[in-house]
A and B are shown apart, each in its own frame.
Chain A
Amino acid sequence: RKEVEQDPGPFNVPEGATVAFNCTYSNSASQSFFWYRQDCRKEPKLLMSVYSSGNEDGRFTAQLNRASQYISLLIRDSKLSDSATYLCAGSLGGGNKLTFGTGTQLKVEL
């Protein structure tokens, strides 16, 4: 079993839709979690950190469920510019050594 698992997609959604991604992790001792966005042939860029209490940044909401060992990302009112690959990552080895999932591809269409 992979340490961090994501559905690779692609998720094809119409503009304005709400889309949710989940990511599961295997190490219950994991401390910190993040969502990164990666555009084609570019570097990953930090989208948001994920906290147990949930956190929101504009149209984006991230949630951590430690009991079920998954994190989620909700995107409301999708824009064409949201089309990208979304990577979840956890500090499974402690500190800030991150383990990434394979990424979920999102395509927002007119």
Chain B
Amino acid sequence: ETGVTQSPTHLIKTRGQQVTLRCSSQSGHNTVSWYQQALGQGPQFIFQYYREEENGRGNFPPRFSGLQFPNYSSELNVNALELDDSALYLCASSTTGSSYNSPLHFGNGTRLTVT
């Protein structure tokens, strides 16, 4: 069974730039969720994708956007980077069903530093 993989593992960007983070979901999972984890905090829900459509969004501005592809992989895009965007970005895959939603399984994250 292939787990959740994220790329890149580390990234350094300058304020105002744009970044794309990538995630391959665990085999058999149809849902991808993205979380932002600042130092000393718990993960904060950004959004979730199911069947290639956004299926819920947390309290993040529109410059955070995403995509899910037919193979269930996903991208997180952040435009106009700000210093406060520096964090660990976590992708989690799961299965959404009519009567059961599986727990989230996280990838190893992308650590983004904005200077």
A residues near B, CB below 8 A? 4, 6, 32, 34, 41-46, 49, 87, 89, 91, 93, 95-103
List A contacts of B106 (CB < 8 A).
43-45
Chain B, Cβ-Cβ closest to A98: B104
Find residues 63-115 in chain B having any chain A CB closer than 8 Å to their own CB: 88, 90, 94, 96, 101-109, 111
> B56 within 8 Å of A by Cβ?
yes
Which secondary structure characterizes the binding site on chain A? loop
Which of A43, A89, A99, A103 has a CB less than 8 Å from the CB of B108?
A: A43
CA distance A102 to B45 in the complex (A): 13
Which of A43, A45, A98 has a CB less than 8 Å from the CB of B45?
A: A98
- Given A43-B107, A44-B106, A45-B106, do A96 and B101 touch, yes or no (CB 8 Å)? yes
- Given A43-B90, A93-B56, A95-B96, do A100 and B105 touch, yes or no (CB 8 Å)? no
> B2 within 8 Å of A by Cβ?
no
List A contacts of B88 (CB < 8 A).
41
Assess the A99–B104 pair: CB atoms within 8 A: no
CA distance A91 to B107 in the complex (A): 19
List B contacts of A6 (CB < 8 A).
42
List B contacts of A99 (CB < 8 A).
45
Which of B40, B44, B103 has a CB less than 8 Å from the CB of A96?
A: B103
Which of A44, A95, A102 has a CB less than 8 Å from the CB of B90?
A: A44
List B contacts of A4 (CB < 8 A).
42
CA distance A96 to B25 in the complex (A): 15
List B contacts of A49 (CB < 8 A).
103
Assess the A96–B102 pair: CB atoms within 8 A: yes
Tell me how far the C-beta of A32 lies from the nearest C-beta in chain B, rounded to whole angstroms. 7
List A contacts of B108 (CB < 8 A).
42-43
Assess the B42–A96 pair: CB atoms within 8 A: no
CA distance A44 to B44 in the complex (A): 12
Which of B41, B96, B103 has a CB less than 8 Å from the CB of A34?
A: B103
